[in-house]
Copies of this chain bind each other. A is one copy, B any other.
C-alpha cells in the first residue's frame, strides 16, 4: 500500500549542441507539468544532418516519476 508506483514516459529531446543538452531539454519540458521526476534512461540517439554536419541531436529517453495521489485522477491515457 505504502509501496510506490512509478510511471515511465518516452520523450525525445533535441539540441543543436550536444546529447546532454537534448536530454536536459526533454527533462525541463517534462518538469513543467510533472512533479516527482526521478530518473531517465537513454533509449535512442539520432539526429538530422544539415550541410554535412549534425543539425539537431534527437535523443529519446524514458523518464520515470512517482505516481502520487492526484497524478492519475484524470483520464490520462
Complex formed: what's the CA distance from A6 to B13 in Å? 7
Q: Is the CB of A13 within 8 A of B5?
A: yes
Complex formed: what's the CA distance from A37 to B72 in Å? 14
**Looking at chain A, what size class is its interface with the partner chain?**
35 or more
Q: Residue-by-residue, is A1-40 near B (CB-CB < 8 Å gives 1, otherwise 0)? A: 0011111111111111011101111111111111001111
The 6 closest A-B pairs by CB, nearest first: A31-B52, A33-B72, A6-B12, A42-B45, A5-B29, A76-B76
Q: List 16 A-B contacts (CB under 8 A).
A: A3-B15, A5-B11, A5-B26, A6-B11, A8-B60, A11-B67, A19-B19, A30-B52, A32-B72, A32-B73, A33-B75, A39-B47, A39-B48, A41-B45, A49-B63, A73-B75
